[in-house]
């Protein structure tokens, strides 16, 4: 993953700082900043694992599911790291 893509997905600033965690609400309960940061880390790890096209098997179905999971994880990370004005 290129450096600018990594910063976009992780919320890193150009100087290596991480922006404030995203607001995440699960079943009406807002996660703490630490919980949201942990959630972002877990999704980043999942995204990273889905970079392997054979992560879920070498057959067409496993490869297709891994590709879809990677795409959805990227969408979630983009939402989690976008700036809110």
- pTM metric for this prediction: 0.70
Asked whether 37 and 21 are in contact (CB, 8 A), the reply is yes
Confidence of residue 25 (pLDDT cuts 50, 70, 90): very high
Average pLDDT over residues 35-55: 95
Cα–Cα dist 9/74, whole Å: 7
Q: For residue 30, is pLDDT > 70?
A: yes
pLDDT band at 40 (very low <50, low <70, confident <90, very high): very high
The answer, yes or no, to whether residue 74 has pLDDT greater than 60, is: yes
- Residue 84 reports pLDDT greater than 80: no
**Which region, left, alpha or beta, applies to residue 12 given φ > 0 means left and ψ of -120 to 50 means alpha?**
beta
Q: Which helix (H) or strand (E) holds 25?
A: strand 25-26
């Amino acid at each position: 993953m290129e450096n600018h893509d990594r910063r976009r997905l992780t919320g890193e600033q150009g100087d290596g700082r991480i922006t404030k965690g995203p607001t995440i609400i699960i079943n009406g309960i807002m996660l703490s900043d630490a919980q949201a940061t942990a959630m972002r880390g877990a999704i980043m790890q999942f995204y990273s694992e889905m970079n392997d096209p054979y992560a879920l098997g070498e057959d067409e179905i496993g490869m297709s599911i891994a590709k879809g999971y990677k795409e959805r994880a990227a969408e979630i990370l983009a939402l989690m790291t976008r700036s809110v004005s």
